[in-house]
A and B are shown apart, each in its own frame.
Chain A
Amino acid sequence: MKIELIEKIEGEAFLDVSCRQGKVRDAYVRFPHYRGIEKILVGRDPLDALVINPRVCGICGHAHLQATVRTLEKLAGFEPNEKVKKIREITRFCEMVQNHIKWFYLVVFDRLGLTYDFRTVHVMIQKINMLAAIFSGQWPHSSYALPGGVTCDPSQLEILQAKRLVQSVREHFVLLVGAFDIKNLSKDLKRLYDRLEERDLLYTGKSLDRFITFGSDSYVQSSKILHGKVRPAKLHNIREFGQEKSHAKGVTYKGKFYETGPLARTMLRGDLFVKQLHRRYKDSITTRIFARIYEVGTLLKKIDEHLRTIDISEPSYTPLEIPDGETMSAIEAARGSLIHKVCIEKGKIAEYVIITPTQWNLSNAKNGESSIIKKALIGAQCEATDIIFRSFDICSVCTTH
Protein backbone atom coordinates (compact mmCIF):
# COMPACT_ATOMS: atom_id res chain seq x y z
CA MET A 1 0.00 0.00 0.00
CA LYS A 2 1.27 3.40 -0.99
CA ILE A 3 -0.06 6.60 0.57
CA GLU A 4 0.14 9.56 -1.75
CA LEU A 5 -0.29 13.09 -0.53
CA ILE A 6 -1.99 14.96 -3.32
CA GLU A 7 -1.31 18.65 -2.82
CA LYS A 8 -2.17 21.86 -4.59
CA ILE A 9 -5.73 20.71 -5.17
CA GLU A 10 -7.28 23.59 -3.24
CA GLY A 11 -5.86 21.93 -0.14
CA GLU A 12 -4.74 18.34 0.14
CA ALA A 13 -6.02 14.79 0.12
CA PHE A 14 -4.54 11.38 0.75
CA LEU A 15 -4.81 8.68 -1.82
CA ASP A 16 -4.18 5.17 -0.54
CA VAL A 17 -3.30 3.03 -3.55
CA SER A 18 -2.25 -0.55 -3.78
CA CYS A 19 -0.41 -1.53 -6.91
CA ARG A 20 0.44 -4.88 -8.41
CA GLN A 21 2.75 -5.23 -11.40
CA GLY A 22 2.62 -1.49 -11.96
CA LYS A 23 -1.16 -1.34 -12.11
CA VAL A 24 -3.56 0.08 -9.56
CA ARG A 25 -5.42 -2.69 -7.78
CA ASP A 26 -7.33 -0.70 -5.17
CA ALA A 27 -7.71 2.92 -4.20
CA TYR A 28 -9.19 4.88 -1.34
CA VAL A 29 -9.43 8.65 -0.95
CA ARG A 30 -9.18 10.38 2.41
CA PHE A 31 -9.69 14.02 3.26
CA PRO A 32 -7.94 14.72 6.55
CA HIS A 33 -9.66 17.96 7.56
CA TYR A 34 -12.98 19.41 8.62
CA ARG A 35 -13.73 23.10 9.17
CA GLY A 36 -17.29 23.07 10.49
CA ILE A 37 -19.02 25.54 8.16
CA GLU A 38 -22.38 23.77 8.49
CA LYS A 39 -22.13 24.02 12.27
CA ILE A 40 -21.19 27.70 12.20
CA LEU A 41 -24.45 28.46 10.39
CA VAL A 42 -26.76 26.90 12.97
CA GLY A 43 -28.66 29.50 14.99
CA ARG A 44 -27.78 32.34 12.67
CA ASP A 45 -29.99 34.57 10.59
CA PRO A 46 -30.46 32.95 7.14
CA LEU A 47 -28.82 35.93 5.41
CA ASP A 48 -25.61 35.38 7.41
CA ALA A 49 -25.15 32.27 5.26
CA LEU A 50 -24.49 34.64 2.35
CA VAL A 51 -21.32 35.78 4.09
CA ILE A 52 -20.28 32.51 5.75
CA ASN A 53 -20.83 30.13 2.81
CA PRO A 54 -18.52 31.74 0.24
CA ARG A 55 -15.78 31.04 2.80
CA VAL A 56 -16.21 27.33 2.14
CA CYS A 57 -13.97 27.82 -0.85
CA GLY A 58 -11.56 30.45 -2.09
CA ILE A 59 -11.93 29.47 -5.71
CA CYS A 60 -15.68 28.92 -6.02
CA GLY A 61 -17.12 31.30 -3.41
CA HIS A 62 -19.53 32.84 -5.90
CA ALA A 63 -21.05 29.42 -6.56
CA HIS A 64 -21.52 28.86 -2.82
CA LEU A 65 -23.06 32.30 -2.50
CA GLN A 66 -25.48 31.65 -5.32
CA ALA A 67 -26.36 28.16 -4.10
CA THR A 68 -27.30 29.78 -0.79
CA VAL A 69 -29.33 32.49 -2.50
CA ARG A 70 -31.21 30.03 -4.72
CA THR A 71 -32.00 27.74 -1.79
CA LEU A 72 -33.43 30.64 0.23
CA GLU A 73 -35.34 31.93 -2.81
CA LYS A 74 -36.80 28.50 -3.41
CA LEU A 75 -38.04 28.49 0.16
CA ALA A 76 -39.77 31.81 -0.51
CA GLY A 77 -41.12 30.61 -3.87
CA PHE A 78 -39.32 33.41 -5.68
CA GLU A 79 -37.99 33.49 -9.24
CA PRO A 80 -35.69 36.42 -10.06
CA ASN A 81 -36.13 38.52 -13.21
CA GLU A 82 -33.99 38.15 -16.32
CA LYS A 83 -31.60 40.93 -15.36
CA VAL A 84 -30.82 39.35 -11.99
CA LYS A 85 -30.43 35.91 -13.59
CA LYS A 86 -28.03 37.29 -16.17
CA ILE A 87 -25.89 39.17 -13.66
CA ARG A 88 -25.62 36.09 -11.47
CA GLU A 89 -24.72 33.90 -14.43
CA ILE A 90 -22.13 36.38 -15.65
CA THR A 91 -20.29 36.39 -12.31
CA ARG A 92 -20.62 32.64 -11.81
CA PHE A 93 -19.45 31.88 -15.35
CA CYS A 94 -16.49 34.23 -14.83
CA GLU A 95 -15.60 32.24 -11.74
CA MET A 96 -15.81 29.00 -13.71
CA VAL A 97 -13.65 30.41 -16.50
CA GLN A 98 -10.86 31.57 -14.16
CA ASN A 99 -10.98 28.21 -12.40
CA HIS A 100 -10.67 26.22 -15.61
CA ILE A 101 -7.82 28.36 -16.93
CA LYS A 102 -5.90 28.06 -13.66
CA TRP A 103 -6.46 24.33 -13.55
CA PHE A 104 -5.57 23.77 -17.20
CA TYR A 105 -2.25 25.56 -17.00
CA LEU A 106 -1.13 25.72 -13.36
CA VAL A 107 -2.15 22.11 -12.69
CA VAL A 108 -2.44 20.03 -15.87
CA PHE A 109 0.31 21.65 -17.97
CA ASP A 110 2.54 21.91 -14.91
CA ARG A 111 2.08 18.24 -14.00
CA LEU A 112 2.62 17.06 -17.55
CA GLY A 113 5.80 19.10 -17.78
CA LEU A 114 4.43 21.39 -20.49
CA THR A 115 5.50 25.02 -20.67
CA TYR A 116 2.99 27.77 -21.21
CA ASP A 117 2.66 31.50 -21.69
CA PHE A 118 2.30 32.46 -18.05
CA ARG A 119 1.84 36.15 -18.81
CA THR A 120 -1.14 35.64 -21.10
CA VAL A 121 -2.67 33.07 -18.78
CA HIS A 122 -2.34 35.52 -15.92
CA VAL A 123 -3.82 38.39 -17.90
CA MET A 124 -6.85 36.23 -18.71
CA ILE A 125 -7.33 35.31 -15.05
CA GLN A 126 -6.97 38.90 -13.95
CA LYS A 127 -9.33 40.25 -16.58
CA ILE A 128 -12.06 37.68 -16.08
CA ASN A 129 -11.98 38.34 -12.34
CA MET A 130 -12.12 42.06 -13.04
CA LEU A 131 -15.20 41.47 -15.16
CA ALA A 132 -16.87 39.60 -12.29
CA ALA A 133 -15.92 42.35 -9.84
CA ILE A 134 -17.79 44.95 -11.91
CA PHE A 135 -20.92 43.20 -10.63
CA SER A 136 -19.69 41.43 -7.50
CA GLY A 137 -17.40 44.11 -6.05
CA GLN A 138 -14.52 41.69 -5.73
CA TRP A 139 -13.31 38.21 -6.41
CA PRO A 140 -12.63 36.08 -4.38
CA HIS A 141 -15.54 36.13 -1.93
CA SER A 142 -18.13 38.94 -1.60
CA SER A 143 -21.87 38.66 -1.01
CA TYR A 144 -23.41 40.69 -3.82
CA ALA A 145 -26.31 38.33 -4.46
CA LEU A 146 -29.09 37.94 -1.94
CA PRO A 147 -32.60 36.49 -1.91
CA GLY A 148 -34.56 38.83 -4.16
CA GLY A 149 -31.76 39.90 -6.47
CA VAL A 150 -28.32 41.42 -6.53
CA THR A 151 -26.92 44.45 -4.71
CA CYS A 152 -25.42 46.11 -7.78
CA ASP A 153 -27.18 48.45 -10.16
CA PRO A 154 -24.89 48.43 -13.19
CA SER A 155 -24.80 51.35 -15.58
CA GLN A 156 -24.26 51.25 -19.33
CA LEU A 157 -20.67 52.30 -18.77
CA GLU A 158 -20.04 49.24 -16.63
CA ILE A 159 -21.70 46.96 -19.17
CA LEU A 160 -19.41 48.45 -21.81
CA GLN A 161 -16.33 47.85 -19.66
CA ALA A 162 -17.46 44.27 -19.10
CA LYS A 163 -17.97 43.71 -22.84
CA ARG A 164 -14.44 44.91 -23.55
CA LEU A 165 -13.04 42.55 -20.92
CA VAL A 166 -14.84 39.47 -22.20
CA GLN A 167 -13.79 40.32 -25.74
CA SER A 168 -10.18 40.59 -24.66
CA VAL A 169 -10.27 37.30 -22.75
CA ARG A 170 -11.86 35.55 -25.74
CA GLU A 171 -9.12 36.81 -28.03
CA HIS A 172 -6.36 35.70 -25.66
CA PHE A 173 -8.02 32.34 -25.26
CA VAL A 174 -8.19 31.62 -28.97
CA LEU A 175 -4.57 32.68 -29.37
CA LEU A 176 -3.51 30.21 -26.69
CA VAL A 177 -5.60 27.13 -27.44
CA GLY A 178 -6.62 27.51 -31.08
CA ALA A 179 -9.88 26.07 -32.40
CA PHE A 180 -11.84 23.22 -30.84
CA ASP A 181 -11.76 21.17 -33.99
CA ILE A 182 -10.98 17.56 -33.27
CA LYS A 183 -9.43 16.94 -36.70
CA ASN A 184 -7.37 20.04 -36.55
CA LEU A 185 -6.06 20.66 -33.06
CA SER A 186 -3.44 23.37 -32.82
CA LYS A 187 -1.50 25.40 -30.27
CA ASP A 188 -1.86 24.37 -26.61
CA LEU A 189 -4.63 21.85 -27.33
CA LYS A 190 -2.34 20.08 -29.75
CA ARG A 191 0.62 20.21 -27.36
CA LEU A 192 -1.52 18.70 -24.64
CA TYR A 193 -2.85 15.98 -26.93
CA ASP A 194 0.62 15.10 -28.10
CA ARG A 195 1.91 14.90 -24.55
CA LEU A 196 -0.94 12.59 -23.49
CA GLU A 197 -0.23 10.44 -26.52
CA GLU A 198 3.54 10.35 -25.84
CA ARG A 199 2.91 9.22 -22.30
CA ASP A 200 0.32 6.71 -23.37
CA LEU A 201 -2.33 8.43 -21.29
CA LEU A 202 -5.01 9.06 -23.94
CA TYR A 203 -7.22 6.17 -22.89
CA THR A 204 -6.44 6.18 -19.21
CA GLY A 205 -8.77 7.12 -16.37
CA LYS A 206 -12.00 5.78 -17.88
CA SER A 207 -14.75 5.65 -15.32
CA LEU A 208 -18.41 4.65 -15.09
CA ASP A 209 -19.56 6.76 -18.04
CA ARG A 210 -22.46 8.09 -15.99
CA PHE A 211 -23.04 11.79 -15.77
CA ILE A 212 -25.24 14.00 -13.68
CA THR A 213 -26.05 17.69 -13.43
CA PHE A 214 -28.51 19.21 -10.99
CA GLY A 215 -28.16 22.89 -11.74
CA SER A 216 -30.45 24.50 -14.29
CA ASP A 217 -29.59 27.75 -16.00
CA SER A 218 -29.19 29.18 -19.48
CA TYR A 219 -26.17 26.92 -20.01
CA VAL A 220 -27.32 23.50 -18.86
CA GLN A 221 -30.45 21.74 -17.62
CA SER A 222 -30.67 19.38 -14.67
CA SER A 223 -30.40 15.82 -16.03
CA LYS A 224 -28.42 12.61 -15.98
CA ILE A 225 -27.02 10.11 -18.43
CA LEU A 226 -27.16 6.44 -17.55
CA HIS A 227 -26.42 3.78 -20.18
CA GLY A 228 -26.39 6.54 -22.79
CA LYS A 229 -29.95 7.65 -21.96
CA VAL A 230 -30.71 11.19 -20.81
CA ARG A 231 -33.28 11.55 -18.02
CA PRO A 232 -34.18 14.37 -15.64
CA ALA A 233 -32.28 14.32 -12.32
CA LYS A 234 -34.26 14.80 -9.12
CA LEU A 235 -32.68 16.18 -5.98
CA HIS A 236 -34.64 13.93 -3.62
CA ASN A 237 -32.83 10.86 -4.91
CA ILE A 238 -29.52 12.04 -3.48
CA ARG A 239 -28.07 10.25 -0.45
CA GLU A 240 -24.97 11.11 1.54
CA PHE A 241 -23.02 8.52 3.50
CA GLY A 242 -20.14 8.63 5.97
CA GLN A 243 -16.73 7.31 4.93
CA GLU A 244 -14.14 5.71 7.17
CA LYS A 245 -10.95 7.64 7.98
CA SER A 246 -12.14 10.61 5.93
CA HIS A 247 -13.88 13.86 6.77
CA ALA A 248 -15.66 13.89 3.43
CA LYS A 249 -19.01 12.22 2.92
CA GLY A 250 -19.74 10.09 -0.10
CA VAL A 251 -22.80 10.71 -2.23
CA THR A 252 -25.00 8.64 -4.54
CA TYR A 253 -28.03 9.09 -6.79
CA LYS A 254 -30.52 6.23 -6.37
CA GLY A 255 -27.66 4.26 -4.87
CA LYS A 256 -25.38 4.79 -7.89
CA PHE A 257 -22.28 6.92 -8.37
CA TYR A 258 -22.23 9.61 -11.07
CA GLU A 259 -19.63 11.98 -12.43
CA THR A 260 -20.40 15.68 -12.29
CA GLY A 261 -18.53 18.62 -13.76
CA PRO A 262 -17.64 19.98 -17.19
CA LEU A 263 -17.53 16.55 -18.80
CA ALA A 264 -21.04 15.81 -17.51
CA ARG A 265 -22.31 19.22 -18.57
CA THR A 266 -20.90 19.16 -22.06
CA MET A 267 -22.13 15.59 -22.58
CA LEU A 268 -25.61 16.56 -21.41
CA ARG A 269 -25.57 19.62 -23.63
CA GLY A 270 -24.44 17.45 -26.49
CA ASP A 271 -21.50 19.68 -27.41
CA LEU A 272 -20.11 18.18 -30.60
CA PHE A 273 -16.40 18.54 -29.77
CA VAL A 274 -16.77 16.64 -26.50
CA LYS A 275 -19.10 14.06 -28.03
CA GLN A 276 -16.54 13.32 -30.72
CA LEU A 277 -13.80 12.89 -28.14
CA HIS A 278 -16.08 10.72 -26.05
CA ARG A 279 -16.86 8.45 -28.99
CA ARG A 280 -13.17 7.69 -29.24
CA TYR A 281 -11.77 8.02 -25.72
CA LYS A 282 -14.93 7.51 -23.61
CA ASP A 283 -14.75 9.20 -20.20
CA SER A 284 -10.96 9.02 -20.02
CA ILE A 285 -8.76 11.84 -18.77
CA THR A 286 -8.46 13.05 -22.36
CA THR A 287 -12.17 13.74 -22.71
CA ARG A 288 -12.38 15.01 -19.14
CA ILE A 289 -9.49 17.47 -19.55
CA PHE A 290 -10.57 18.70 -22.98
CA ALA A 291 -14.20 19.08 -21.87
CA ARG A 292 -13.14 21.42 -19.09
CA ILE A 293 -11.09 23.68 -21.29
CA TYR A 294 -13.71 23.52 -24.05
CA GLU A 295 -16.25 24.85 -21.58
CA VAL A 296 -14.22 28.07 -21.21
CA GLY A 297 -15.05 29.10 -24.78
CA THR A 298 -18.75 28.33 -24.39
CA LEU A 299 -18.98 30.17 -21.07
CA LEU A 300 -17.20 33.24 -22.46
CA LYS A 301 -19.69 33.28 -25.32
CA LYS A 302 -22.56 33.06 -22.81
CA ILE A 303 -21.15 35.96 -20.81
CA ASP A 304 -20.87 38.01 -23.98
CA GLU A 305 -24.48 37.15 -24.96
CA HIS A 306 -25.78 38.16 -21.54
CA LEU A 307 -23.91 41.46 -21.69
CA ARG A 308 -25.46 42.17 -25.08
CA THR A 309 -29.01 41.32 -24.07
CA ILE A 310 -29.24 42.48 -20.46
CA ASP A 311 -31.94 45.06 -19.76
CA ILE A 312 -30.45 47.17 -17.00
CA SER A 313 -33.69 49.08 -16.49
CA GLU A 314 -35.21 46.07 -14.73
CA PRO A 315 -34.99 46.22 -10.92
CA SER A 316 -31.92 44.63 -9.34
CA TYR A 317 -33.71 43.63 -6.19
CA THR A 318 -37.16 42.77 -4.86
CA PRO A 319 -37.53 42.70 -1.07
CA LEU A 320 -38.14 39.14 0.08
CA GLU A 321 -39.13 37.53 3.37
CA ILE A 322 -37.57 34.15 4.07
CA PRO A 323 -40.18 31.85 5.59
CA ASP A 324 -39.53 28.90 7.91
CA GLY A 325 -39.23 25.58 6.15
CA GLU A 326 -36.88 23.10 4.56
CA THR A 327 -35.63 22.82 1.01
CA MET A 328 -32.64 22.10 -1.20
CA SER A 329 -31.41 23.37 -4.51
CA ALA A 330 -28.43 23.07 -6.80
CA ILE A 331 -26.25 25.29 -8.89
CA GLU A 332 -23.48 24.55 -11.35
CA ALA A 333 -20.06 25.39 -9.96
CA ALA A 334 -16.77 25.06 -11.82
CA ARG A 335 -16.34 21.46 -10.71
CA GLY A 336 -19.94 20.40 -11.13
CA SER A 337 -23.21 20.44 -9.24
CA LEU A 338 -23.17 22.12 -5.88
CA ILE A 339 -26.10 21.31 -3.64
CA HIS A 340 -27.22 23.29 -0.62
CA LYS A 341 -29.92 22.18 1.78
CA VAL A 342 -31.39 24.37 4.50
CA CYS A 343 -33.88 24.06 7.33
CA ILE A 344 -35.12 27.28 8.89
CA GLU A 345 -37.02 27.36 12.16
CA LYS A 346 -38.30 30.50 13.85
CA GLY A 347 -36.37 32.67 11.44
CA LYS A 348 -33.00 31.04 12.23
CA ILE A 349 -30.97 28.38 10.48
CA ALA A 350 -31.65 25.06 12.22
CA GLU A 351 -29.68 22.88 9.82
CA TYR A 352 -27.49 23.39 6.77
CA VAL A 353 -26.04 20.73 4.51
CA ILE A 354 -23.61 21.28 1.64
CA ILE A 355 -22.87 18.61 -0.97
CA THR A 356 -19.99 19.56 -3.22
CA PRO A 357 -19.07 18.42 -6.75
CA THR A 358 -15.88 16.78 -5.52
CA GLN A 359 -17.95 14.58 -3.22
CA TRP A 360 -19.65 13.15 -6.32
CA ASN A 361 -16.44 12.53 -8.17
CA LEU A 362 -14.32 11.33 -5.25
CA SER A 363 -16.72 9.15 -3.30
CA ASN A 364 -15.19 5.84 -2.35
CA ALA A 365 -16.89 2.64 -3.50
CA LYS A 366 -19.74 1.35 -1.38
CA ASN A 367 -21.97 -1.73 -1.22
CA GLY A 368 -20.28 -3.35 -4.19
CA GLU A 369 -20.93 -0.29 -6.38
CA SER A 370 -17.72 1.03 -7.85
CA SER A 371 -17.32 4.80 -7.58
CA ILE A 372 -16.20 7.35 -10.14
CA ILE A 373 -12.66 7.83 -8.81
CA LYS A 374 -12.13 4.17 -8.01
CA LYS A 375 -13.21 3.01 -11.43
CA ALA A 376 -11.02 5.67 -13.05
CA LEU A 377 -7.96 4.52 -11.10
CA ILE A 378 -8.24 0.75 -11.08
CA GLY A 379 -6.18 -0.90 -13.72
CA ALA A 380 -4.35 2.32 -14.59
CA GLN A 381 -0.57 2.63 -14.55
CA CYS A 382 0.53 3.46 -11.02
CA GLU A 383 2.44 6.54 -12.23
CA ALA A 384 -0.77 7.87 -13.76
CA THR A 385 -2.71 8.10 -10.50
CA ASP A 386 -1.72 11.72 -9.92
CA ILE A 387 -2.93 12.99 -13.29
CA ILE A 388 -6.10 10.87 -13.18
CA PHE A 389 -6.86 12.26 -9.77
CA ARG A 390 -6.24 15.81 -10.90
CA SER A 391 -8.27 15.39 -14.10
CA PHE A 392 -11.35 15.74 -11.88
CA ASP A 393 -10.11 19.16 -10.72
CA ILE A 394 -10.40 18.22 -7.08
CA CYS A 395 -11.36 20.80 -4.53
CA SER A 396 -10.24 19.69 -1.12
CA VAL A 397 -11.41 22.77 0.74
CA CYS A 398 -14.96 22.51 -0.64
CA THR A 399 -15.14 18.88 0.24
CA THR A 400 -13.92 19.47 3.79
CA HIS A 401 -16.25 22.36 4.52
Chain B
Amino acid sequence: MARISKEERKRQIMDTALRLFSKEGFFEVTIADIAKEMKMSAGNIYNYFSSKDALAKELILYISKYLGNQIRQINMQPLSAKEKIKQIVELYFKTAKERPELIEYFLRIYLSNREVFKDGCEGMICVSPFVTEIMIFFEEGVRSGELRDQDFFSAFGLFMGYLGGMVFLMGEGMLPNDIEFYTDEIAENIYRALKNET
Protein backbone atom coordinates (compact mmCIF):
# COMPACT_ATOMS: atom_id res chain seq x y z
CA MET B 1 0.00 0.00 0.00
CA ALA B 2 1.27 3.45 -0.89
CA ARG B 3 2.23 5.62 2.03
CA ILE B 4 -0.51 8.07 2.84
CA SER B 5 -0.75 10.72 5.49
CA LYS B 6 -2.48 10.16 8.79
CA GLU B 7 -5.12 12.73 7.87
CA GLU B 8 -5.88 11.01 4.62
CA ARG B 9 -6.13 7.62 6.33
CA LYS B 10 -8.52 9.14 8.84
CA ARG B 11 -10.68 10.38 5.99
CA GLN B 12 -10.68 6.97 4.44
CA ILE B 13 -11.85 5.40 7.69
CA MET B 14 -14.64 7.99 7.95
CA ASP B 15 -15.76 7.44 4.37
CA THR B 16 -15.82 3.69 4.90
CA ALA B 17 -17.73 4.01 8.14
CA LEU B 18 -20.30 6.29 6.51
CA ARG B 19 -20.82 3.82 3.71
CA LEU B 20 -21.22 0.89 6.10
CA PHE B 21 -23.50 2.77 8.51
CA SER B 22 -25.69 3.78 5.61
CA LYS B 23 -25.87 0.24 4.22
CA GLU B 24 -26.06 -1.84 7.43
CA GLY B 25 -27.28 0.59 10.07
CA PHE B 26 -25.34 2.37 12.79
CA PHE B 27 -25.82 -0.18 15.56
CA GLU B 28 -25.06 -3.17 13.34
CA VAL B 29 -21.62 -1.98 12.33
CA THR B 30 -18.69 -2.44 14.70
CA ILE B 31 -15.18 -1.04 14.61
CA ALA B 32 -14.07 -4.53 13.65
CA ASP B 33 -16.38 -4.44 10.59
CA ILE B 34 -14.89 -1.14 9.49
CA ALA B 35 -11.37 -2.53 10.02
CA LYS B 36 -12.19 -5.60 8.00
CA GLU B 37 -13.59 -3.53 5.15
CA MET B 38 -10.40 -1.45 5.15
CA LYS B 39 -8.09 -4.38 5.53
CA MET B 40 -6.70 -2.86 8.71
CA SER B 41 -6.52 -4.20 12.23
CA ALA B 42 -9.18 -2.98 14.64
CA GLY B 43 -6.36 -1.91 16.96
CA ASN B 44 -4.99 0.34 14.26
CA ILE B 45 -8.37 2.05 13.86
CA TYR B 46 -8.32 2.83 17.58
CA ASN B 47 -5.20 4.87 16.87
CA TYR B 48 -7.46 7.19 14.93
CA PHE B 49 -10.67 7.06 16.97
CA SER B 50 -10.83 6.13 20.61
CA SER B 51 -14.32 4.59 20.27
CA LYS B 52 -17.20 4.16 17.88
CA ASP B 53 -18.97 7.07 19.59
CA ALA B 54 -15.92 9.27 19.04
CA LEU B 55 -15.97 8.29 15.39
CA ALA B 56 -19.69 9.05 15.24
CA LYS B 57 -19.07 12.54 16.57
CA GLU B 58 -16.24 13.27 14.20
CA LEU B 59 -18.47 12.18 11.36
CA ILE B 60 -21.21 14.64 12.14
CA LEU B 61 -18.66 17.43 12.43
CA TYR B 62 -17.16 16.34 9.12
CA ILE B 63 -20.53 16.43 7.35
CA SER B 64 -21.40 19.74 8.94
CA LYS B 65 -18.13 21.24 7.73
CA TYR B 66 -18.58 19.70 4.29
CA LEU B 67 -22.01 21.30 3.84
CA GLY B 68 -21.07 24.46 5.73
CA ASN B 69 -18.11 25.17 3.46
CA GLN B 70 -20.25 24.84 0.36
CA ILE B 71 -23.04 27.06 1.71
CA ARG B 72 -20.37 29.53 2.69
CA GLN B 73 -19.32 29.70 -0.96
CA ILE B 74 -22.93 30.46 -1.86
CA ASN B 75 -23.21 33.07 0.91
CA MET B 76 -20.11 34.87 -0.30
CA GLN B 77 -21.54 35.42 -3.76
CA PRO B 78 -23.43 38.60 -4.58
CA LEU B 79 -26.73 36.81 -5.07
CA SER B 80 -30.30 37.54 -4.02
CA ALA B 81 -31.82 35.43 -1.26
CA LYS B 82 -34.02 33.82 -3.88
CA GLU B 83 -31.02 32.71 -5.91
CA LYS B 84 -29.21 31.54 -2.81
CA ILE B 85 -32.18 29.40 -1.78
CA LYS B 86 -32.07 27.72 -5.15
CA GLN B 87 -28.36 27.02 -4.87
CA ILE B 88 -28.69 25.64 -1.34
CA VAL B 89 -31.52 23.32 -2.44
CA GLU B 90 -29.44 22.24 -5.42
CA LEU B 91 -26.44 21.61 -3.21
CA TYR B 92 -28.47 19.59 -0.74
CA PHE B 93 -30.17 17.41 -3.34
CA LYS B 94 -26.96 16.93 -5.30
CA THR B 95 -25.23 15.78 -2.13
CA ALA B 96 -28.18 13.50 -1.29
CA LYS B 97 -27.89 11.96 -4.72
CA GLU B 98 -24.13 11.73 -5.09
CA ARG B 99 -23.19 11.05 -1.50
CA PRO B 100 -26.40 9.80 0.08
CA GLU B 101 -24.46 8.43 3.04
CA LEU B 102 -23.69 11.96 4.20
CA ILE B 103 -27.29 13.15 4.35
CA GLU B 104 -28.55 9.83 5.63
CA TYR B 105 -26.06 9.88 8.44
CA PHE B 106 -27.29 13.31 9.42
CA LEU B 107 -30.98 12.45 9.20
CA ARG B 108 -31.06 8.86 10.36
CA ILE B 109 -28.18 8.60 12.77
CA TYR B 110 -27.42 12.04 14.18
CA LEU B 111 -30.99 13.24 14.55
CA SER B 112 -32.46 9.93 15.73
CA ASN B 113 -29.77 8.72 18.10
CA ARG B 114 -29.29 11.77 20.32
CA GLU B 115 -28.00 9.65 23.21
CA VAL B 116 -24.89 8.74 21.19
CA PHE B 117 -24.11 12.44 20.80
CA LYS B 118 -25.19 13.77 24.17
CA ASP B 119 -21.68 14.16 25.56
CA GLY B 120 -19.38 16.34 23.51
CA CYS B 121 -21.91 17.13 20.81
CA GLU B 122 -24.38 19.13 22.88
CA GLY B 123 -26.75 21.42 21.11
CA MET B 124 -25.23 22.84 18.00
CA ILE B 125 -21.54 22.22 18.64
CA CYS B 126 -21.07 19.49 16.06
CA VAL B 127 -23.36 21.02 13.46
CA SER B 128 -22.25 24.59 14.08
CA PRO B 129 -20.32 25.02 10.78
CA PHE B 130 -23.49 24.19 8.88
CA VAL B 131 -25.98 26.04 11.09
CA THR B 132 -23.78 29.14 11.21
CA GLU B 133 -23.88 29.44 7.43
CA ILE B 134 -27.65 28.94 7.36
CA MET B 135 -27.92 31.69 10.01
CA ILE B 136 -25.81 34.02 7.93
CA PHE B 137 -27.94 33.26 4.89
CA PHE B 138 -31.12 34.14 6.84
CA GLU B 139 -29.63 37.17 8.53
CA GLU B 140 -28.48 38.70 5.26
CA GLY B 141 -31.79 37.94 3.57
CA VAL B 142 -33.70 39.71 6.33
CA ARG B 143 -31.25 42.60 6.56
CA SER B 144 -31.60 43.27 2.82
CA GLY B 145 -35.37 43.25 3.23
CA GLU B 146 -35.89 40.31 0.91
CA LEU B 147 -36.90 37.86 3.63
CA ARG B 148 -39.39 38.34 6.45
CA ASP B 149 -38.03 38.78 9.98
CA GLN B 150 -39.07 35.91 12.25
CA ASP B 151 -37.70 33.56 14.84
CA PHE B 152 -34.66 31.75 13.50
CA PHE B 153 -35.98 28.29 14.31
CA SER B 154 -39.34 28.88 12.61
CA ALA B 155 -37.45 29.58 9.40
CA PHE B 156 -34.77 26.98 9.93
CA GLY B 157 -37.35 24.23 10.58
CA LEU B 158 -39.27 25.13 7.47
CA PHE B 159 -36.19 25.09 5.29
CA MET B 160 -34.40 22.06 6.66
CA GLY B 161 -37.50 20.04 7.49
CA TYR B 162 -38.68 20.38 3.91
CA LEU B 163 -35.35 19.30 2.42
CA GLY B 164 -34.97 16.48 4.93
CA GLY B 165 -38.47 15.25 4.13
CA MET B 166 -37.70 15.10 0.41
CA VAL B 167 -34.46 13.22 0.99
CA PHE B 168 -36.37 10.82 3.25
CA LEU B 169 -38.92 10.17 0.48
CA MET B 170 -36.07 9.64 -1.94
CA GLY B 171 -34.41 7.17 0.44
CA GLU B 172 -37.65 5.25 0.77
CA GLY B 173 -37.92 5.06 -3.00
CA MET B 174 -41.20 6.93 -2.93
CA LEU B 175 -40.32 9.75 -5.33
CA PRO B 176 -41.57 9.11 -8.87
CA ASN B 177 -38.89 11.42 -10.28
CA ASP B 178 -35.21 12.00 -9.71
CA ILE B 179 -34.82 14.31 -6.69
CA GLU B 180 -33.19 17.04 -8.76
CA PHE B 181 -36.41 17.21 -10.79
CA TYR B 182 -38.00 18.97 -7.78
CA THR B 183 -35.28 21.57 -7.21
CA ASP B 184 -36.94 24.55 -8.90
CA GLU B 185 -40.39 24.07 -7.41
CA ILE B 186 -39.11 23.43 -3.94
CA ALA B 187 -36.79 26.44 -4.08
CA GLU B 188 -39.76 28.53 -5.20
CA ASN B 189 -41.95 27.16 -2.38
CA ILE B 190 -39.31 27.90 0.25
CA TYR B 191 -38.75 31.38 -1.13
CA ARG B 192 -42.47 32.15 -1.11
CA ALA B 193 -42.77 30.93 2.44
CA LEU B 194 -39.88 33.09 3.66
CA LYS B 195 -40.07 36.20 1.55
CA ASN B 196 -41.09 39.59 2.81
CA GLU B 197 -44.65 40.33 1.73
CA THR B 198 -44.53 44.05 2.29
Direct contact of A and B (CB under 8 A): no
